Amino acid sequence: TAKRMGFADAQIAKLMGSNEDAVRAVRKQFGLRPFAKRIDTLAGEFPAPTNYLYTTYNAATDDVAFNEHGTMVLGSGVYRIGSSVEFDWCGVSAIRALRQLGHKTIMVNYNPETVSTDFDECDRLYFDELSYERVRDIYEMETAGGVIVSVGGQLPQNIALRLHQNEVKVLGTSPEKIDAAEDRHRFSQILDSIGVDQPAWKELVSVADAEKFADAVGYPVLIRPSYVLSGAAMNVAYDAEALRSNLELAASVSPEHPVVVTKFIRGARELDIDAVASNGELIKHAVSEHIEDAGVHSGDASLILPPANLSAEVLERVKDIGNKVARAFEISGPFNMQIIMQKNEQTPDHPDLKVIECNLRASRSFPFVSKVMDSNFVEAATRAIVGEGVPKPVDLMKGSNKWPYTAIKVPQFSWTRLAGADPFLGVEMSSTGEVACFGKTPEEAYLVSLMSTNGFRLPVPGKSVYVGIDNLTETRIAQK
């Protein structure tokens, strides 16, 4: 009765003082499982042979035979800040690549606004929640060949380790390695062990320790929780009072994982690296440069590809970092890194490169780099994940300074539609969309991209431009 009323195993466990896995085990002992039913798209007038499926306990039979044993792809769920059509493109590209390889495909997603939920994109589509319980139910009913968790953003990543620990075959990069990259403390330790530079860091033990660390390295410092999307609860603290309040917020957002405090580097440039690896070997990569200084979330920053201000030596060093990370985490599939490039006074021609983040999944910029470079990164990643038809390694960035075009992706904001919104950019993402345009020069591409966003008006010569500043604003932005 509880399952028919919609209670999840986790809810029942909480009411019974037990845990979700124990409730699931008892449920299976009694043969209680959901049934797969078709969504009637013909209003009952004719049989509806569509592959639109959902699971329910309010049934006695299944509408489909489980004889295809397809490969499951987990979607990204609802559209929200940080997770939108970019991950839908990644999911669709993965499904198309699987079908090209002859695999039957199963998409699990619950957003009818997506292309991945179109009837002709996959062999079976489940309109269902992306929870551990439901994904495992579908996996067991379908006796699926495996699950892909790296093309749907953060939601699939959050349940990858539990699926792996409970006999679900997660394809591609091991969930143990995904967990190591998501856990800020373990990730920082691994970077230290392979000789990849990063900002000074310390795992939070107590507020007093965090304050002591901040005093030692100097404010500002960055508070980084684990297992979050779009920089949720990530904040920059400029004094001890802000440090205390931000630590409390970070601990509440990600209570089961450590919070790391790192030195926040100002006046530096940020680079985005989107890459694909197979068994720890880098297959292809793209290096995009942020127009804004480091400190603006990558989802709010303007990305330029090919980068306009990077030497061949810096590009080679970035590639070397990508190779080291791919080997250390034994990556098979997509991954994304953010690197800080900071000028070194002792070696002006040899800037410092510090890794600040790495996600072992496709990122929001995968569609952008794939289209700009005319090379589908997700298709290559899918082939690496299943180990079939893996492309040979190629350096797509070689000679990028001679490309006859530049592409720039700029953010779209909705400040005017949100009452009380503070139009201030920081380390937590705020944009609600993006626009990318090509140009013969970086300046042309940037101007066209900005003019393509909603509500942007080019300042008229002779008119004033108002710039809001506070005591933290760098005065150089308001200088002539």
**173-176 contacts at long range (C-beta below 8 A, 24 or more positions apart):** 173/329, 173/330, 173/331, 173/332, 173/333, 173/335, 173/360, 173/385, 174/330, 175/149
DSSP code per residue over 37-101: EE--TTTTSS-----EEEEESS-SS-SS------EEEE---S-BTTBSHHHHHHHHHHHHHHHHT
For residues 51 and 248, the model is more confident at: 51
What sign results for the dihedral spanned by CA atoms 86, 444, 460, 295? positive
Cβ atoms 335, 325 nearer than 8 A? yes
Residues 383 and 333: their CA atoms lie apart, in Å, by 8
Sign for the pseudo-dihedral over CA of 288, 428, 248, 473: positive
The pLDDT of residue 332 is above 70: yes
Average pLDDT score over residue span 181-192:
85
* Residue-wise pLDDT tens digits, 162-184: 999 998 999 999 999 998 888 77
- 275 three-state secondary structure: strand
- List CB contacts of 340: < 8 A, sequence separation 6 or more: 199, 265, 268, 269, 270, 271, 294, 352, 353, 354, 355, 356
Cβ-Cβ contacts under 8 Å for 302 (sequence gap 6 or more)? 290, 291, 292, 408, 409, 410, 411, 446, 449
Is cis: bond before 306, omega within 30 of 0?
yes
Cα 122 to Cα 70, 157, 203, 478: the distances in Å are: 10, 21, 43, 52
Nearest alpha-carbon partner for 355 in 196, 177, 187: 196
390-434 pLDDT, tens digit each? 999 999 999 998 999 999 999 887 777 777 777 767 667 777 788
Q: pLDDT tens digits, residue range 349-380?
A: 889 999 988 899 998 899 999 999 999 999 99
Residue 228: the pLDDT is: 46
Enclosing H/E stretch for 13: helix 9-16
Supply the pLDDT for residue 476.
Answer: 65
Mean pLDDT value across the chain: 85
Predicted local confidence at residue 55, as pLDDT: 93
| Res 232 pLDDT > 70 | no
Amino acid at 293: D
Query: Which pLDDT score is estimated for 230?
Result: 41
Give the span between the Cα atoms of 287 and 465, in whole angstroms.
Answer: 33
With bands split at pLDDT 50, 70 and 90, how would you rate the model's confidence at 222? confident
Q: Where are the alpha helices (DSSP H) in 126-193?
A: 132-142, 154-165, 175-182, 184-193
pLDDT at 229 over 90: no
Beta-strand ranges (E) seen in 315-392 are 333-342, 352-359
132 — phi, psi (to 5°)?
-60, -45
Distance from C-alpha of 164 to C-alpha of 173, rounded to nearest angstrom: 11
CA 472 to chain centre: 29
* Tokens 């100097």 belong to residue: 218
Q: What is the pLDDT of residue 306?
A: 93
In sign, the C-alpha dihedral spanning 366, 371, 374, 380 is positive
Amino acid at 232: A
- pLDDT tens digit string along 279-331? 999 999 999 999 888 777 777 888 999 998 899 999 999 999 999 999 999 99
Average pLDDT, integer, range 226-250: 67
Task: Report helix angle 184-193 to 175-182, nearest 10.
Answer: 100
Over residues 11-19, mean pLDDT:
91
Q: Which of 83-92, 355-364, 459-468 comes out lowest in average pLDDT? A: 459-468
Predicted local confidence at residue 473, as pLDDT: 63
